[in-house]
Amino acid sequence: MTAPRRNARTADDLDEREVDLAGWRRALVALWWIPIAGLVLGAIVGVLFSFRGGTTYKATALLSLGQPTSPGGALVNGFGTNPRAVSQITSSASAQATVEQRAGLRPGALRGHVSVAQVGSATGAGAARATPLISLTVTGANPAKVERATDALAALVVARTTAPYVGTKIATFESVLKTTNKQLASITARLAVLNKAIEKSNLAPLDQLVLVSQVDNAEQRQGNLLDQQATTNQQLAFAKNIESAKVITTAKAQKASAHSRNSSILVGALIGLILGAILAIAGEGRFSRASS
């Protein structure tokens, strides 16, 4: 009993759709000038939209947050190694005000024009040990000021993340290296004097034995200092290149993807044509009643 009713209802729906489509065709034919006017007006709006806002530039700097370690070699996780810290720093009003002043921008010029993104993604067991790479982008109308603002923001991020902690380690390593180099220079001079003294032929055998013993001790001390110097240089290089936050690539302003005039005209004309067709279909009934 239900199947015939359903089939009858489906047939009625198809008839109604055919009637609707026929009415739409009649409306578009009768009021053809409305879609055409919409197409022309849409194209004009598209041209005007393509001129809106002028040229926009963007500059991007690539940052590494670094991966500091404790004196025992364990990884140090904190605010400075959190990629979200960059977003919090660069979006803060105080940081943007400082950068705007350095870059010669008007107050508030950076608001809404700074974006931060993490380069790549780290997943799996080694994700916690990955050193985050951050791209920092600034957009604006003046390319030189955009570059200065991006570099200034990048320097600010470095100064407020891992750089202070690792900077203390670097200063310590440099102090140790300076002392080691002084001791090596002193021992090298002492060895030169001892070797000259040994070369003298008028020394007694006992005196020569004492000098040779002193030379051996000095050379042993020199070897230990050379090992210490190599280790300190490695630690210093690791702290500077791996542990500390740094700017990998500085900013270079480029034209952002602006609105294409042709695409703006095409999209505007298409939208105008569709709106005009809708108006023609909706107004066909009123137009027919008015004409009758």
* Residue 264 structural domain: 2-51+259-291
- Distance separating alpha carbons of residues 180 and 173, to the nearest angstrom: 10
Q: What is the CATH number of the domain that holds 137?
A: 3.30.70
Domain shared by 153 and 225, yes or no:
no
Domain shared by 220 and 84, yes or no:
no
pTM of the model: 0.60
pLDDT score for 265: 77
Domain shared by 117 and 46, yes or no:
no
Domain shared by 182 and 223, yes or no:
yes
Q: What is the CATH number of the domain that holds 184?
A: 1.20.58
- Distance separating alpha carbons of residues 50 and 53, to the nearest angstrom: 8
- Distance separating alpha carbons of residues 79 and 82, to the nearest angstrom: 5
Domain shared by 233 and 280, yes or no:
no
pLDDT score for 125: 42
55 by Cβ neighbours in 10 Å (0-12 / 13-18 / 19+) ranks as exposed
Domain shared by 158 and 221, yes or no:
no
Identify the segments of the chain with pLDDT beneath 70.
Answer: 1-21, 23, 50-54, 120-131, 201, 257-261, 283-292
pLDDT score for 260: 60
Domain shared by 275 and 195, yes or no:
no
pLDDT score for 126: 45
Q: What is the DSSP letter of 99?
A: H
42 by Cβ neighbours in 10 Å (0-12 / 13-18 / 19+) ranks as buried
Number of domain units in the chain: 3
Domain shared by 150 and 63, yes or no:
yes
Q: Which amino acid is at 110?
A: L
pLDDT score for 259: 55
On whether the CB atoms of residues 94 and 140 are closer than 8 A, the answer is no
